[in-house]
Amino acid sequence: MSKIVFFCIPAHGHTNPTLGVVRELISRGHQVFYYSYNMMRDKIESTGAVFVSCDEYDQEQRLDAKDGARIGKDLAFSTQILVDTTLALDDAVCEHMKELNPDCIVADSMAVWGKAVALKLGIPFVSSTTTFAFNQHSAKIMKQSPGQIFGMIFSMLKINKNIKRLQDKGYPVKSVLDIIQNDNNIDTIVYTSPEFQPCSKTFSDKYVFVGPSIRPVENAIEKKSDKLIYISMGTVINDSVEFYKKCIETFANTKYQVIMSVGNLINIEDLGAIPDNITISRFVDQIAVLSQADVFLTHCGMNSVNESLYYKVPLVMFPQTSEQDGVATRVEQLGAGVRLKNINVKSIRTTIENVLNTKSYYEQASKISQGFRKCTGAKGAADKIEKMCKRIEINI
């Protein structure tokens, strides 16, 4: 039996894909310790893992919704949050790792404190990547405007100061790329298929593309119309009352069944009267909805896109961050969806009906789904982690 430690950020889209892997490892007799946040406690403990709370130390828990949106757009701000969290957790995590002496650390690509402590203590490490894997080739999909490039250059002084803070605490980090990017020598699990991953052949054999981690449908929903439209902007940047109002206005009293998930950042009462053909909830069982949906209007979070395409549902995309924009670009390249260019009734209706009435979008979504279903899934990810579980002495 091996002892394996997971680290993740407080985001459902980053946590959910790992849960099946944790269950698989535990079923093989391994012991799993999972560092995360109290909001994720129940779902993590349901796997059988030992939950370890980071809330007491983590800086990210003190952010408001606007700060959360800023993380996806401001590299200097993101670096500061990541470094603050790493240093806040430093003493407690390092001491626990020395006591536990784990065989392997698995950390989300954004939970850099997991990667950092593995490097610092010399513990075998696996990166868990719930977005696309990025290198100099695949990163070209993340196109940046001149303003974004200028902003990055302007922010490098702040970024380098934060990197120096890590170096002063003994972390072998040379630049911000050591934090946000994996090279071809780092063992990495990527939760998508080689076909969906941009430039997948440019990555070394240390990368395994295991496909999305899709749980079974738990509570089936009733499909009441011939066409079901699902609308969700995820769990982070989802506070646009006007966007939701336009969607309601577009499809009110039409032949379509519409299900909208609006999160907990708005008052549903502010949306006004809700027509009978539209159901609005703070949260829904997204897997259950997508198993019945005909089109998905989405912010283009990687997890949501993977789930949609797994169920052969084409996309209408309205990305809010550069990462989401990159995912949208890939979906466009493969012909499984289109972007929503304007938030008005005509644009929303025309774009969604274009997808509903165009066979090729469904054919391409089905093709991507076939690639997902051929992947090794949680078993392949567990195989990768097991290979890294070779006991070595921790550097103290």
Tally of CA atoms within 13 A in the half-sphere of 172 that contains its CB: 7
Return the residue matching tokens 């990055």. Answer: 152
Per-residue pLDDT, 150: 38
DSSP state of 253: T
Q: What is the pLDDT of residues 140-152, one digit of tens each?
A: 775 544 444 434 4
Per-residue pLDDT, 73: 55
Question: Beta strand pairing status for 257-261 and 228-232?
Answer: parallel
Distance from C-alpha of 329 to C-alpha of 325, rounded to nearest angstrom: 6
Per-residue pLDDT, 263: 85
Per-residue pLDDT, 370: 97
* 3-state secondary structure (DSSP) of residue 136: coil
State the DSSP string of 260-315.
EE-TTSS-GGGG----TTEEEES---HHHHHTT-SEEEE---HHHHHHHHHTT--E
The 3-state DSSP composition of the chain as helix, strand, coil percent (nearest 5) reads 45, 15, 40
Per-residue pLDDT, 183: 72
Q: What would the two tokens of residue 250 be? A: 């577009």
CB 11 within 8 A of CB 62: no
| Structural domains of the chain, with CATH | 3-211+375-388 (3.40.50.2000), 228-374 (3.40.50.2000)
With the C-alpha atoms ordered 63, 68, 73, 79, is the resulting torsion angle positive or negative?
A: positive
Question: Beta strand pairing status for 50-53 and 228-232?
Answer: unpaired
Burial class from Cβ neighbours inside 10 Å (0-12, 13-18, 19+) for residue 231 reads: buried
Mean pLDDT by 10 residues, the chain (396 residues): 92 90 96 94 96 74 48 63 79 89 93 86 93 81 48 58 79 66 84 95 95 87 95 73 92 96 86 94 93 96 94 95 88 97 95 97 98 96 92 46
Per-residue pLDDT, 155: 58
To the nearest whole percent, how much of the chain has pLDDT over 70? 85
State the DSSP string of 27-84.
HTT-EEEEEE-GGGHHHHHTTTPEEEE-TTT-SGGG--HHHHHHHTT-HHHHHHHHHH
